[in-house]
Protein backbone atom coordinates (compact mmCIF):
# COMPACT_ATOMS: atom_id res chain seq x y z
CA UNK A 1 0.00 0.00 0.00
CA UNK A 2 1.36 3.40 -0.92
CA UNK A 3 2.27 5.84 1.84
CA UNK A 4 -0.38 8.30 0.61
CA UNK A 5 -3.11 5.66 0.55
CA UNK A 6 -2.14 4.53 4.05
CA UNK A 7 -2.25 8.08 5.36
CA UNK A 8 -5.65 8.52 3.76
CA UNK A 9 -6.90 5.38 5.47
CA UNK A 10 -5.81 6.77 8.84
CA UNK A 11 -7.99 9.81 8.17
CA UNK A 12 -11.02 7.78 7.07
CA UNK A 13 -10.84 5.29 9.94
CA UNK A 14 -10.40 7.94 12.59
CA UNK A 15 -11.01 7.68 16.31
CA UNK A 16 -14.56 9.02 16.00
CA UNK A 17 -15.44 6.59 13.20
CA UNK A 18 -13.98 3.67 15.15
CA UNK A 19 -15.78 4.64 18.37
CA UNK A 20 -19.10 4.76 16.51
CA UNK A 21 -18.52 1.29 15.04
CA UNK A 22 -17.61 -0.15 18.42
CA UNK A 23 -20.69 1.34 20.10
CA UNK A 24 -22.89 -0.11 17.39
CA UNK A 25 -21.32 -3.57 17.78
CA UNK A 26 -21.77 -3.53 21.54
CA UNK A 27 -25.44 -2.61 21.17
CA UNK A 28 -26.47 -4.68 18.16
CA UNK A 29 -23.76 -7.26 17.50
CA UNK A 30 -22.09 -7.80 14.11
CA UNK A 31 -23.53 -5.91 11.16
CA UNK A 32 -25.34 -7.88 8.50
CA UNK A 33 -22.54 -8.93 6.16
CA UNK A 34 -20.06 -9.63 8.96
CA UNK A 35 -22.72 -11.73 10.68
CA UNK A 36 -23.31 -13.66 7.48
CA UNK A 37 -19.58 -14.39 7.19
CA UNK A 38 -19.38 -15.47 10.84
CA UNK A 39 -22.36 -17.80 10.44
CA UNK A 40 -20.87 -19.36 7.30
CA UNK A 41 -17.54 -19.94 9.06
CA UNK A 42 -19.19 -21.37 12.17
CA UNK A 43 -21.13 -23.79 9.98
CA UNK A 44 -17.81 -25.29 8.86
CA UNK A 45 -16.72 -25.83 12.47
CA UNK A 46 -14.36 -23.58 14.41
CA UNK A 47 -13.77 -25.60 17.58
CA UNK A 48 -10.10 -25.30 18.56
CA UNK A 49 -9.25 -23.38 15.39
CA UNK A 50 -6.84 -20.48 15.00
CA UNK A 51 -7.92 -17.33 13.17
CA UNK A 52 -6.05 -14.69 11.20
CA UNK A 53 -8.27 -11.67 10.55
CA UNK A 54 -6.66 -9.31 8.03
CA UNK A 55 -7.91 -5.77 8.53
CA UNK A 56 -9.97 -6.93 11.49
CA UNK A 57 -11.06 -3.52 12.72
CA UNK A 58 -12.29 -3.55 16.31
CA UNK A 59 -12.14 -7.36 16.32
CA UNK A 60 -15.73 -8.44 15.75
CA UNK A 61 -14.90 -11.68 13.93
CA UNK A 62 -12.34 -12.62 16.58
CA UNK A 63 -14.72 -12.18 19.49
CA UNK A 64 -17.57 -14.01 17.82
CA UNK A 65 -15.50 -17.00 16.67
CA UNK A 66 -13.68 -17.28 20.00
CA UNK A 67 -17.08 -17.39 21.70
CA UNK A 68 -18.05 -20.10 19.20
CA UNK A 69 -15.10 -22.29 20.20
CA UNK A 70 -12.04 -21.04 18.31
CA UNK A 71 -8.81 -21.20 20.30
CA UNK A 72 -6.97 -17.94 19.50
CA UNK A 73 -6.90 -15.15 16.96
CA UNK A 74 -4.61 -12.59 15.36
CA UNK A 75 -5.88 -9.28 14.00
CA UNK A 76 -3.54 -7.51 11.55
CA UNK A 77 -4.71 -3.92 11.20
CA UNK A 78 -3.16 -0.85 9.58
CA UNK A 79 -5.42 1.86 11.02
CA UNK A 80 -4.17 3.04 14.42
CA UNK A 81 -7.63 3.96 15.65
CA UNK A 82 -8.77 0.39 15.18
CA UNK A 83 -5.65 -1.04 16.81
CA UNK A 84 -6.20 0.74 20.12
CA UNK A 85 -9.90 -0.07 20.13
CA UNK A 86 -9.29 -3.75 19.35
CA UNK A 87 -6.75 -4.14 22.13
CA UNK A 88 -8.96 -2.37 24.65
CA UNK A 89 -12.03 -4.37 23.65
CA UNK A 90 -10.19 -7.70 23.83
CA UNK A 91 -9.08 -6.81 27.37
CA UNK A 92 -12.59 -5.69 28.31
CA UNK A 93 -13.97 -9.04 27.16
CA UNK A 94 -11.31 -11.01 29.02
CA UNK A 95 -9.76 -12.22 25.77
CA UNK A 96 -6.44 -10.37 25.82
CA UNK A 97 -4.51 -13.63 26.26
CA UNK A 98 -6.21 -15.16 23.20
CA UNK A 99 -6.17 -12.20 20.80
CA UNK A 100 -3.04 -10.70 19.28
CA UNK A 101 -3.41 -7.34 17.56
CA UNK A 102 -0.62 -6.48 15.14
CA UNK A 103 -0.08 -3.12 13.50
CA UNK A 104 0.92 -2.87 9.86
CA UNK A 105 0.11 -3.33 6.21
CA UNK A 106 -0.48 -7.08 5.98
CA UNK A 107 1.16 -7.41 2.56
CA UNK A 108 4.34 -5.84 3.90
CA UNK A 109 4.54 -7.84 7.14
CA UNK A 110 3.04 -11.15 5.96
CA UNK A 111 6.34 -13.01 6.25
CA UNK A 112 6.28 -12.37 9.99
CA UNK A 113 2.65 -13.40 10.49
CA UNK A 114 1.82 -16.98 11.49
CA UNK A 115 -0.49 -19.12 9.42
CA UNK A 116 -3.93 -19.98 10.80
CA UNK A 117 -6.67 -22.51 10.24
CA UNK A 118 -9.05 -19.73 9.17
CA UNK A 119 -8.15 -16.50 7.36
CA UNK A 120 -10.71 -13.73 6.89
CA UNK A 121 -10.81 -10.43 4.98
CA UNK A 122 -14.04 -8.63 5.78
CA UNK A 123 -14.46 -5.62 3.47
CA UNK A 124 -10.70 -5.30 3.08
CA UNK A 125 -10.11 -6.25 -0.57
CA UNK A 126 -12.09 -3.20 -1.67
CA UNK A 127 -9.83 -0.91 0.37
CA UNK A 128 -6.56 -2.19 -1.05
CA UNK A 129 -5.13 -1.05 -4.41
CA UNK A 130 -3.09 -4.21 -5.12
CA UNK A 131 -5.72 -6.88 -4.54
CA UNK A 132 -3.58 -9.60 -6.14
CA UNK A 133 -0.78 -9.18 -3.59
CA UNK A 134 -3.28 -9.01 -0.73
CA UNK A 135 -5.18 -12.11 -1.80
CA UNK A 136 -2.09 -14.13 -2.71
CA UNK A 137 -0.28 -13.42 0.55
CA UNK A 138 -3.34 -14.00 2.73
CA UNK A 139 -4.22 -17.26 0.92
CA UNK A 140 -0.74 -18.55 1.74
CA UNK A 141 -1.58 -18.18 5.44
CA UNK A 142 -4.85 -20.16 5.32
CA UNK A 143 -4.40 -23.77 6.34
CA UNK A 144 -8.06 -24.73 5.93
CA UNK A 145 -10.65 -21.97 5.45
CA UNK A 146 -10.59 -18.62 3.62
CA UNK A 147 -13.49 -16.21 4.07
CA UNK A 148 -13.99 -12.87 2.32
CA UNK A 149 -16.54 -10.09 2.03
CA UNK A 150 -16.06 -7.72 -0.89
CA UNK A 151 -18.22 -5.69 -3.29
CA UNK A 152 -20.32 -7.32 -5.97
CA UNK A 153 -19.22 -6.58 -9.54
CA UNK A 154 -22.40 -4.78 -10.55
CA UNK A 155 -22.97 -1.40 -12.11
CA UNK A 156 -24.42 0.26 -9.02
CA UNK A 157 -21.45 -0.59 -6.81
CA UNK A 158 -19.09 0.81 -9.44
CA UNK A 159 -21.10 4.03 -9.55
CA UNK A 160 -21.13 4.19 -5.76
CA UNK A 161 -17.37 3.79 -5.65
CA UNK A 162 -16.87 6.55 -8.19
CA UNK A 163 -19.04 8.90 -6.14
CA UNK A 164 -17.24 8.01 -2.92
CA UNK A 165 -13.84 8.44 -4.52
CA UNK A 166 -14.94 11.80 -5.90
CA UNK A 167 -15.93 12.94 -2.41
CA UNK A 168 -12.55 11.77 -1.10
CA UNK A 169 -10.84 13.72 -3.88
CA UNK A 170 -12.80 16.84 -2.95
CA UNK A 171 -11.50 16.58 0.63
CA UNK A 172 -7.96 15.91 -0.67
CA UNK A 173 -7.88 12.50 0.94
CA UNK A 174 -5.73 10.06 -1.10
CA UNK A 175 -7.62 7.01 0.21
CA UNK A 176 -9.66 5.21 -2.48
CA UNK A 177 -12.07 2.28 -2.68
CA UNK A 178 -11.94 -0.28 -5.47
CA UNK A 179 -14.38 -2.53 -7.31
CA UNK A 180 -11.98 -5.35 -8.08
CA UNK A 181 -13.50 -7.86 -10.56
CA UNK A 182 -15.17 -10.86 -8.93
CA UNK A 183 -14.13 -13.21 -11.73
CA UNK A 184 -10.45 -12.37 -11.24
CA UNK A 185 -10.55 -12.57 -7.42
CA UNK A 186 -12.41 -15.89 -7.47
CA UNK A 187 -10.06 -17.33 -10.10
CA UNK A 188 -6.99 -16.41 -8.03
CA UNK A 189 -8.43 -18.12 -4.96
CA UNK A 190 -9.36 -21.28 -6.86
CA UNK A 191 -5.95 -21.37 -8.54
CA UNK A 192 -4.38 -21.53 -5.07
CA UNK A 193 -6.22 -24.81 -4.45
CA UNK A 194 -9.38 -23.61 -2.73
CA UNK A 195 -12.94 -24.67 -3.49
CA UNK A 196 -15.95 -22.50 -2.77
CA UNK A 197 -18.22 -23.77 0.01
CA UNK A 198 -20.52 -20.81 0.58
CA UNK A 199 -21.74 -17.89 -1.49
CA UNK A 200 -24.35 -15.31 -0.52
CA UNK A 201 -25.01 -11.67 -1.35
CA UNK A 202 -26.65 -8.50 -0.19
CA UNK A 203 -27.42 -5.58 -2.48
CA UNK A 204 -23.80 -4.43 -2.55
CA UNK A 205 -21.70 -7.19 -1.03
CA UNK A 206 -20.76 -10.82 -1.61
CA UNK A 207 -19.87 -13.18 1.23
CA UNK A 208 -17.73 -16.12 0.17
CA UNK A 209 -16.11 -18.98 2.08
CA UNK A 210 -13.58 -21.40 0.56
CA UNK A 211 -11.84 -24.52 1.84
CA UNK A 212 -8.34 -25.56 0.88
CA UNK A 213 -8.37 -28.83 -1.03
CA UNK A 214 -12.07 -29.40 -0.43
CA UNK A 215 -14.29 -31.54 -2.64
CA UNK A 216 -16.73 -30.35 -5.24
CA UNK A 217 -19.07 -27.46 -4.51
Q: Where are the domains of the chain?
A: 3-212
Backbone Cα Rg of the chain: 16
**CATH class (in words) of the domain with range 3-212:** alpha beta
Q: d(Cα 207, Cα 24) in Å, to the nearest integer?
A: 21
What count of Cα atoms within 13 Å lies in the side-chain half-sphere of residue 195?
Answer: 6
pTM over 0.95: no
Q: d(Cα 194, Cα 186) in Å, to the nearest integer?
A: 10
Per-residue confidence in pLDDT tens, the chain, 217 aa: 544 445 545 555 667 888 899 999 999 999 999 999 999 999 999 999 999 999 999 999 999 999 999 999 999 998 888 999 999 999 999 999 999 999 999 999 999 999 999 999 999 999 888 999 999 999 999 999 999 999 998 989 888 888 887 887 888 877 788 888 899 999 999 999 999 999 999 999 999 999 998 543 4
φ, ψ at 131 (rounded to 5°):
-65, -35
Amino acid sequence: MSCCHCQGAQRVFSGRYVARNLRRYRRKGPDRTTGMLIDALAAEGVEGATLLDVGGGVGVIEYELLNAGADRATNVEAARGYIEAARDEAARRGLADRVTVREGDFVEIADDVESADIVTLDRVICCYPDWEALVTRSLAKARKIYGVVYPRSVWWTRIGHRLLNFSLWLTRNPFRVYAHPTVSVDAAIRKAGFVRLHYSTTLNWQIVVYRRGAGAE
